[in-house]
Amino acid sequence: MSTLYHKEEAYKIIGICMEVHNELGKGFNEIVYSDALEIEFIDNDINYSREKKFDINYKGNLLPHKYKADFIVDNKIVLEIKAIACLTSANVKQTLNYLAVSKLKLGILINFGEDSLKYKRIVL
Cα(54)–Cα(16) distance, integer angstroms: 25
Structural domain count, the chain: 1
Mean pLDDT (whole number) for 4-22: 96
How far from each other are the two terminal CA atoms of the chain, in whole angstroms?
A: 17
Cα(64)–Cα(67) distance, integer angstroms: 10
The whole-chain average pLDDT of the chain stands at 95
Percent of the chain with pLDDT over 70: 98
- pLDDT at site 4: 84
Q: CB–CB of 77/9 below 8 Å?
A: yes
pLDDT band at 49; cut points 50, 70, 90 = very high
The amino acid present at 106, given as its one-letter code, is: L
Domain assignment of residue 2, yes or no: no
What's the CATH code of the domain at 57? Answer: 3.90.320.10
pLDDT digits (tens, 9 = 90+) for 88-103: 999 999 999 999 999 9
Domain assignment of residue 59, yes or no: yes
Domain assignment of residue 114, yes or no: yes
Which phi and psi (to 5°) does residue 28 adopt? -85, 165
Domain extent, residue 43, equals: 7-123
Residue 1 has pLDDT above 50, yes or no: no
Domain assignment of residue 14, yes or no: yes
Domain assignment of residue 106, yes or no: yes
Domain assignment of residue 1, yes or no: no
